[in-house]
Amino acid sequence: MTIELNIVERWRDFPILNQQVNGHPLVYLDSAASSQKPRCVIDAVADYYREDNANIHRGVHQLSQRATDAYEGAREKVRGFVNAAVVKEIVFVRGATEAINLVAQSFVRPQLSAGDTVLVSQLEHHANIVPWQMVCEQTGATLQVIPMTQSGELDLSGIDELLTGSAKILAIGHVSNALGTVNPIKGLIAKAHDKGIPVLIDGAQAVPHMAVDVQDLDCDFYVFSGHKMFAPTGIGALYGKRSILEQMPPWQGGGDMILSVSFEHTQYNDLPYKFEAGTPNIAGTIGLGMAIDYMQEVGIDNIAAHEHNLLVAATERLEVMEGVNIIGTAAEKASVLSFMIEGVHPHDVGTIFDQQGVAIRTGHHCAQPVMQFYEIPATARASFAFYNKLSDVDALVASIEKVQEMFA
């Protein structure tokens, strides 16, 4: 009860939610695509531009020093957020996509040759498929796929055969964006490590919803995007074990990733700057730091508990609706409810929802292999954040009824 009381009023911290869409109060059920931003994050970004704006690291003047302190302060917040051992293990990137490309090109590509494999799963977002396909094309290695089950869980029956000496990395999502499945990553990481295989976890859909401890997980890399966790777009983080990051060559060259440059020789900077070429997204980084402060103030366990209540309530309502099929019924799920309404294309569903002021996502959710598995072109997806209310579940159900009424 205390959890519910603390959380239910939190939507008021998000100015954008207080508006009408098509004559109805906005119900935002598309947080898996991008979350909304609390006032404190918006203010932190505006304050930076209003008061501290300057380039970081090289300036001796006050503004540059303040901007540098705020930027590096955010790195320490990210370190604490995922419980990395040291700040050197936190590299700022544009988002999960860029982090995965960085690891694919800098860590995996130099180790790959024909006969080697890269292991992903059928549940992945395209961001955790295509960079690996590219690196396989570049090296002659092969992409291998952990299959999925009808309920939308990983089918681990053949995992021992896939985790062989030829596998150079296991890259797997923590939470599926299309179905909400929470994968048993801790066990998988241990299994891969038993065979000496490093593991990258795509945490884009996990960090907004649950506490993550990279030391406890013992993953080699963990990646996520700020914009899905109440921070601005264009900022995210790569966690990598220090011993591994130290051995990796830089991915991009330019400013900030060097210690000295001459035409004969360039000496690269220390971690984490070696991987941060060019002027970074300073404002976004500061916004990410503020989003972490805010999430910690709300309480990540409170967030998880409230979202679980919303997901259970929505699932129970949709399960008993005639003509509605839930896609993805894994035992462990977070935040996402994908569904189909019989006889109606998901895009029509999304359009009618919008007319009711209810924002959901329709399409393949950048997870076409999941759609191929179910032999469907698309789903309608409602996704929750802690600023959603139980009345948003009522709006979801009412919109489905409206669709059915219109297509009766």
Q: Indicate which residues carry an active-site annotation.
A: 366
Choices 44-52, 123-131, 384-392, 398-406; region in contact with ligand PLP by CB under 6 A: 123-131
How far apart (Å, rounded) are the C-alpha atoms in residues 41 and 14?
A: 10
| Tokens matching residue 245 | 């990051």
- Under the criterion CB under 6 A, does residue 202 sit at the interface with ligand PLP? yes
Q: Which of 36, 121, 205, 404 binds ligand PLP (CB under 6 A)?
A: 205
Q: What 3-state class would DSSP assign to 282?
A: helix
Shortest reach from residue 380's CB to ligand PLP, in Å = 16
> What do you get for the CA distance between the two ends of the chain, in Å?
40
- Under the criterion CB under 6 A, does residue 379 sit at the interface with ligand PLP? no
Shortest reach from residue 194's CB to ligand PLP, in Å = 26
Range 182-185 contact pairs with CB under 8 angstroms and sequence separation of 24 or more:
182/206, 182/210, 182/330, 182/332, 182/333, 182/334, 183/121, 183/123, 183/153, 183/154, 184/154, 184/156, 184/332, 185/217, 185/219
Shortest reach from residue 15's CB to ligand PLP, in Å = 22
169/395 with CB nearer ligand PLP: 169
- Under the criterion CB under 6 A, does residue 105 sit at the interface with ligand PLP? no
- Under the criterion CB under 6 A, does residue 362 sit at the interface with ligand PLP? no
Measured over the CA atoms of residue 318, residue 320, residue 326 and residue 330, the dihedral's sign is: positive
Bridge partners for 238 per DSSP: 91, 223
| Tokens matching residue 103 | 């690891």
Shortest reach from residue 336's CB to ligand PLP, in Å = 9
- Under the criterion CB under 6 A, does residue 97 sit at the interface with ligand PLP? yes
Q: Which of these, 212, 205, 210, 211, lies nearest to 228 by C-alpha position?
A: 205
Q: Is residue 271 a contact partner of residue 88, using CB atoms and an 8 Å limit?
A: yes
173/346 with CB nearer ligand PLP: 173
| Number of residues that make up the chain | 408
| Tokens matching residue 156 | 């681990």
Choices 63-71, 179-187, 197-205, 280-288; region in contact with ligand PLP by CB under 6 A: 197-205
173/289 with CB nearer ligand PLP: 173
- Under the criterion CB under 6 A, does residue 330 sit at the interface with ligand PLP? no
200/245 with CB nearer ligand PLP: 200
Looking only at residues 60 through 79 of this chain, which bind ligand PLP when binding is defined by CB under 6 A?
A: none
- Under the criterion CB under 6 A, does residue 180 sit at the interface with ligand PLP? no
Q: Which of 95, 287, 328, 357 binds ligand PLP (CB under 6 A)?
A: 95
Q: What is the DSSP letter of 148?
A: B
- Under the criterion CB under 6 A, does residue 338 sit at the interface with ligand PLP? no
- Under the criterion CB under 6 A, does residue 125 sit at the interface with ligand PLP? yes
Size of the site for ligand PLP (CB under 6 A): 14
Shortest reach from residue 226's CB to ligand PLP, in Å = 8
Q: What 3-state class would DSSP assign to 32?
A: coil
Shortest reach from residue 58's CB to ligand PLP, in Å = 28
- Per-residue contact flags (x/-) with ligand PLP for residues 148 to 177, judged by CB under 6 A: -------------------------x---x
CB atoms within 10 A of CB 67: 24
Q: Helix 282-298 vs helix 62-82: angle between axes, to the nearest 10 degrees? A: 40
Q: Is residue 402 a contact partner of residue 22, using CB atoms and an 8 Å limit?
A: no
Query: Which residues bind to ligand PLP, rule: CB under 6 A?
Result: 95-97, 125, 127-128, 173, 177, 202, 204-205, 225, 227, 366
